[in-house]
Chains A and B, each alone.
Chain A
Amino acid sequence: MGSFKLGAMTLGGLFKKPETIQYPAQTKPMPAGLKGHVVNDVETCILCSICAKRCPTSAIEVDKKGRTWAINRFRCVQCGSCVRECPKQCLTMDPHYASPATQMEPSVFDVPEHEKVQAEV
């Protein structure tokens, strides 16, 4: 008899917790290191544009004169190059996925002027 090889597994499934969840009423917890979306702490950013140079998809644009840092979420592939290369560690990878948008526009952030720390003589 070669049939019903899956019988035990299939019947056993009746008494186990379901493998699936009732999305969207239930959601899976996000693991800590999940690559969701890139977040910039504009208070720390010095607009050095290393992130823009390292980005393989040219998703980041830095305007030093206008003091803006922009990321095109539709181009970003969450590779994390910018996060690793940032000299001020102001870029982080948030484990939550970016929310849906109605228009394909980059997210622009204004970077405030930082007070220059006077060198101690």
Chain B
Amino acid sequence: MGKATVIPFGPQHPVLPEPLHLDLVVEDEKVIEAIPQIGFVHRGLEKLVETRDYNQFIYVAERICGICAFGHSMGYAETVERLMGVEIPTRAEYLRVIWHELSRIHSHILWMGLAADAFGFESLFMHCWRLRERVLDIFEKTTGGRVIFSVVKVGGVVRDIDKLQFNEIKRVLEGIKHDYNQLCKAFLKDTSVKNRTVGVGYISHEDALDLSMVGPFARASSVNNDSRCLGNGGYKFLSDFQPIMDGQGDCYARVKVRALEVLQSIDIIEEMIAKIPEGDIAVPVKGSPADGAESSNVVEQPRGECYYYARGNGSKYLERMRMRTPTSQNLGGMTKVLAGCDLADVNMIVLTIDPCISCTER
């Protein structure tokens, strides 16, 4: 047995898109403990709720994270709508689901590209990001932005998608599906990918439950946890929804769950486009949340369940806005997985958790 050594990992590291620091206690080439540290990008966004009114805060909420931007604005808007008892038009709910699922596609494909880059498969990385670009082009045409959309408001959405644009979205998604199936084949069947992922970073179903893990990280360990099943917002209009799960609990399972979720999201968007009703896209919202009124909401972000809580104080400013993001739930699971792994597998394990530090720190 060698002497224990502490190796710092991050906050600047080629595999990390965001700053996360890990103190890896290593004996020989085995990690025996990983101590995470965050706090490098804290911006105090929740505090801003005291100086921005409930309509303006939506633009702050969507800046919590660049990848889940739409999810955060939708989650915040739904929470405030519950707080004020606002019923939004059905068409707006459909539109929110379509944009949210497009966000999931672009988030997962982005992540798959980063994963490919991490295990040294450069051409796979390029192909992933090439497909993601097409999703960003859809956003650009339908919302006017590529990353930050600003299309959600309390009471509905600010932009509609017309039939021509829907046809364009369907056509682009068909093209993505065709190419994406080939990418999936590379991710799920290629020997070099399997060598880096199969059996690496295993976490059992029981441990995943004990550590309250969420999102694809939990679903890869057979935890049936997907907030879309609750039918919040437009998800209640889905004819059938079954979360994608896998029982292997290793890095390969996490890649597989995310890979298949992209295809599931494409199906959801196609169903929503086929069923979307005509009508208004927003209702006028007047007044302020009542003093002491409370509401909560759960949204399935690309990385997992995100919980929102809001409390009013009778003015147009909220008393409190709180978010519990998926990565903060998954950090416990990540340290559990890292204990006992090979030092060379740390980057792959950290990446398969898909940590979003901006969300976690806000």
Contacts and interface: CB of A to CB of B under 8 A. Distances in A.
A2 B144 contact: no
Interface string B161-193: 000000000000000000100110110011110
Contact of B145 (A78, A81, A84): A78
B158 A31 contact: no
B185 A35 contact: no
Report whether over half of chain A's contact residues are helix, strand or loop; otherwise say mixed: loop
A9 B191 contact: no
B123 A5 contact: no
Interface stretch (B52-60, B81-89, B242-250, B332-340): B52-60
From A35, A78, A79, A80, residue with most partner B Cβ within 10 Å:
A79
A38 interface: no
Given A2-B189, A3-B191, A33 B144 contact: yes
B123 A2 contact: no
A47 B57 CA distance: 25
A33 B159 contact: yes
Contact of B182 (A5, A34, A78): A5
Nearest to A36: B144
Nearest to A3: B191
A29 to B, nearest CB: 11
Interface string B245-275: 0000000000000000000000000000000
From B127, B144, B145, residue with most partner A Cβ within 10 Å:
B144
Interface string B39-80: 000000000000010011101100000000000000000000
Interface in A61-107: 77-81, 84, 93, 95
A78 B190 CA distance: 44
Given A6-B186, A56-B56, A34 B140 contact: yes
Interface string A1-43: 0110110111000000001000000000001011100000000
A12 to B, nearest CB: 9
Interface residues of A, number: 23
A56 B144 contact: no
Nearest to A19: B130
A2 B191 contact: yes
Interface residues of B, number: 31
B13 interface: no
A16 to B, nearest CB: 11
B124 A77 contact: no
A8 B127 CA distance: 12
A5 B145 contact: no
Given A5-B182, A6-B186, A31 B191 contact: no
B236 interface: no
Contacts of A84: 158
Contacts of A93: 144
A48 B61 CA distance: 28
Contacts of B189: 2, 5
B186 A31 contact: no
B150 A34 contact: no
B73 to A, nearest CB: 10
7 contacts: A5-B189, A6-B183, A9-B183, A54-B56, A77-B59, A77-B148, A81-B59
Given A6-B127, A9-B183, A54-B55, 17 more contacts: A2-B189, A2-B191, A3-B190, A5-B185, A6-B182, A6-B183, A6-B190, A10-B127, A31-B141, A33-B144, A34-B140, A35-B144, A35-B150, A56-B59, A78-B150, A80-B144, A84-B158
The 3 closest A-B pairs by CB, nearest first: A2-B191, A56-B56, A5-B186
Interface of B: 52, 55-57, 59-60, 123-124, 127, 130, 133, 140-145, 148, 150, 158-159, 179, 182-183, 185-186, 189-192, 194
Interface of A: 2-3, 5-6, 8-10, 19, 31, 33-35, 54, 56-57, 77-81, 84, 93, 95
